[in-house]
Amino acid sequence: MIQMVTLTQLRDNLGRYVRAAQYDQSRFVILKNGRERAGLVPMSDLTLLDNAATRSMDYKALQIAEEMLRWRIIREGMEEVERSS
């Protein structure tokens, strides 16, 4: 469950919140002036998020490379047709 914590509460009790994230796997949304500004999560969550972002970027790069290859094949095919006419 995600808990809300104000920046002041976090500042005054940082050790408590870090321990809760580390040992209890608690997650916190940090509020400043009533608005969500950041989060505090266990390292295991951060690792999963980072791995997901990396895989997402790798997949996006693969999609772009495949699209570029398709356009290259089309362009080369068109150039070949122009040369033969």
Helices (H) and strands (E) in the chain, counts: 3, 3
d(C-alpha 27, C-alpha 5), whole Å: 10
- In this structure, the answer to whether residues 12 and 36 fall within a common structural domain is yes
For range 50-58, the mean pLDDT: 74
d(C-alpha 27, C-alpha 35), whole Å: 17
Q: CB–CB of 32/7 below 8 Å?
A: yes
Q: Which helix (H) or strand (E) holds 38?
A: strand 35-40
- In this structure, the answer to whether residues 79 and 59 fall within a common structural domain is yes
For range 31-49, the mean pLDDT: 93
- In this structure, the answer to whether residues 48 and 80 fall within a common structural domain is yes
- In this structure, the answer to whether residues 47 and 81 fall within a common structural domain is yes
pTM, whole model, 2 decimals? Answer: 0.61
List the structure tokens of 55.
Answer: 């895989």
Mean pLDDT of the chain: 87
Least confident of 21-30, 56-65, 71-80: 56-65
Full domain range(s) for residue 74: 43-85
Q: What percent of the chain has pLDDT over 70?
A: 96
- In this structure, the answer to whether residues 22 and 51 fall within a common structural domain is no
Structural domain count, the chain = 2
- In this structure, the answer to whether residues 50 and 76 fall within a common structural domain is yes
Q: CB–CB of 25/46 below 8 Å?
A: no
- In this structure, the answer to whether residues 48 and 31 fall within a common structural domain is no
For range 7-15, the mean pLDDT: 97
